[in-house]
Structure 1
């Protein structure tokens, strides 16, 4: 009889001492899993743009037909007697801050065009992805998110090579398309995008500037505004997709002028030129240094000097650690209750 009691006590002590070991093992496992997931999420894949095209082939007409949506509009107050061009030039000469309320008001009421509610006039209206694969990649990264917001700064007509058009038509995102070239902007207007549009460019400094661009041997002066001022004019602080394709203008300076601590940008896509197939560009190194991970580097087949970077904002380590602590606590509690229940069963 005494021998049986001793065996039960020994088993109970064994179960009691094994609890910390089990909890410790689970904790180590979760920490290793956390490190692995963060490492794999920041690893870079290099693909050709052609390899992504099968993700979204030409779609059926009936699928595209019913996905048009009514975009968000915003209130504008226009004073026909106010010379906003002269005031804008004065603010540029004064190098006014990107936080200047008068500048923000001018952008909202006189520079940005409202989204059109008319039907699309697209050249390829039954094609899902006209971006060469970027939209498909971003859509997968964002897990097919709906009702987001994008900003696309491009030198095209708003359709050809557009990364944002897919999200506007299929995922029903609102957004802004910025086009600096006058002829391309006119073509953009004719496309009837369900987005706000601007005939300007992004400033590469913390204040609005005037620049001269050359298109077909013709020089045109254009006003460039800080991204923060534009977002303040739209009363937005979050951008799910920021697509930058400015045709070889200094993309790095434009990106460096963005106050990432005041504008929340989830995904960036950047198109640029350079012989950097096997090493990182300056813009890639800069974005990674401020909290972004390069997810994909896409290379154009017929010109391997053309690169498209897709970068995702890195998750907060503090948030991840807190999540791991909570998960470990929950698992440990279940282990403790299980061992306690087993201990009671052995006692009986």
Structure 2
């Protein structure tokens, strides 16, 4: 091989290497750009899920369905024993009995329906929906933001969907600070009930009784971030078209959540909420009237902290309430 030939080969080889390098770098840049775009999109969605994406955004619905909602259990129920004093001491308080009586009267002779209970705790203690599920074969969605209570909820093996999240006060997903109350000491746990303090856990700044609770019982406040979604997000994620019973016990956020709910987009038959303000909120009652709901237990307010609203189109349910009131009057 002559010197000239050698130079030609070297030049061609170098040219080929340069060409391969250029092509490789271009390929890497293209793929890096694609990867960057994909990574950015993922990060963008993770960031936006904290708000202000719409609660009915298609991506949000898919994300909630795949990440925040667990299917009903197929295993046998695993409830607490009746003689467990630390559990049962508060299990059937006045408020629970009051609501349970109405629920039984309204739905006993009805076919299985769908409930949505927010503030579900462990799925057993003070549950407004357990009787419907066990006795009448209902299913539904149980929402509980407290991680410890939610772990207990999963162990109960409820035949309903479950979600470890909270309901947003606004029309978009957001992260908020959650305050969990934990009693200190076994003696206090037995005396005040193992689930009584988690039942008073709440979103930061919304529970007006926290100071009263912690002033006479040694309890610790723990703070954590929880993901919230609008109420309609959970409904749309499951593809639900009708809610037979909507139960909200959220330590102060019930009314603002209902004010932001798109009532015209889904049928809700009965709504029950706990109202911690011991005065009659006529403005909210009028708001629910405009949304086509009648307050059925106004005579019991403000002594009772529970509101029971029935859709005005539900004539059979309305008649059942009237009959119950007549029976109560006769007994008096």
TM-score with structure 1 length normalisation? 0.60
Separation in 1, partners of 2:286, 2:47 = 36
Secondary structure of 2:75's aligned partner: coil
Q: Which has the higher contact order (CA 8 A, sep 6+)?
A: 1
Separation in 2, partners of 1:172, 1:82 = 45
Q: Which residue of 2 aligns with 1:213?
A: 178
Q: Which residue of 2 aligns with 1:274?
A: 277
* Corresponding residue to 2:57 among 100, 103, 114: 100
Separation in 2, partners of 1:195, 1:224 = 20
Q: Which residue of 2 aligns with 1:112?
A: 69
Q: Which residue of 1 aligns with 2:243?
A: 239
Separation in 2, partners of 1:310, 1:177 = 19
Q: By how many angstroms is 1:284 displaced?
A: 3.0
Task: Say whether residues 1:261 and 2:226 are aligned partners.
Answer: no
Separation in 1, partners of 2:228, 2:41 = 15
Separation in 1, partners of 2:146, 2:299 = 26
Native 8 Å contact 2:165 2:227 kept in 1: yes
Q: Which residue of 2 aligns with 1:201?
A: 166
Secondary structure of 2:265's aligned partner: coil
Q: Which residue of 1 aligns with 2:232?
A: 228
For residues 130-149 of structure 1, the aligned pairs below 5 Å read 131-142=96-107, 144-149=109-114
For residues 15-164 of structure 1, the aligned pairs below 5 Å read 89-93=46-50, 95-123=52-80, 131-142=96-107, 144-154=109-119, 156-164=121-129
Q: By how many angstroms is 1:228 displaced?
A: 1.5
Native 8 Å contact 2:50 2:175 kept in 1: no
Equivalent residue pairs, number: 230
Separation in 2, partners of 1:138, 1:120 = 22
Secondary structure of 1:187's aligned partner: helix
Separation in 2, partners of 1:305, 1:86 = 49
Q: By how many angstroms is 1:203 displaced?
A: 1.2
Separation in 2, partners of 1:233, 1:310 = 26
Native 8 Å contact 2:269 2:314 kept in 1: no
Q: Which residue of 2 aligns with 1:64?
A: none
RMSD: 3.1
Q: By how many angstroms is 1:193 displaced?
A: 0.9
TM-score with structure 2 length normalisation? 0.62
Native 8 Å contact 1:273 1:306 kept in 2: no
Secondary structure of 1:213's aligned partner: strand
Cα gap change, 1:86 to 1:113, in 2 (>3 Å): farther
Q: By how many angstroms is 1:213 displaced?
A: 1.0
Separation in 1, partners of 2:45, 2:304 = 35
Cα gap change, 1:274 to 1:116, in 2 (>3 Å): same
Separation in 2, partners of 1:247, 1:271 = 8
Native 8 Å contact 1:119 1:192 kept in 2: yes
Q: Which residue of 2 aligns with 1:315?
A: 313
Cα gap change, 1:305 to 1:171, in 2 (>3 Å): same
Q: Which residue of 1 aligns with 2:184?
A: none
Q: By how many angstroms is 1:241 displaced?
A: 0.2
Secondary structure of 2:121's aligned partner: coil
Deviations 1:180-209 (A, max 9, x none): 111111111111111110011111111111
Task: Say whether residues 1:283 and 2:255 are aligned partners.
Answer: no
Separation in 2, partners of 1:82, 1:155 = 36
Native 8 Å contact 1:155 1:181 kept in 2: no
**Structure 2 unmatched runs, 5+:** 1-37, 182-220, 316-332
Separation in 2, partners of 1:85, 1:272 = 40
For residues 172-191 of structure 1, the aligned pairs below 5 Å read 172-191=137-156
Native 8 Å contact 1:203 1:257 kept in 2: no
Q: By how many angstroms is 1:258 displaced?
A: 1.0
**Structure 1 unmatched runs, 5+:** 1-80, 318-348
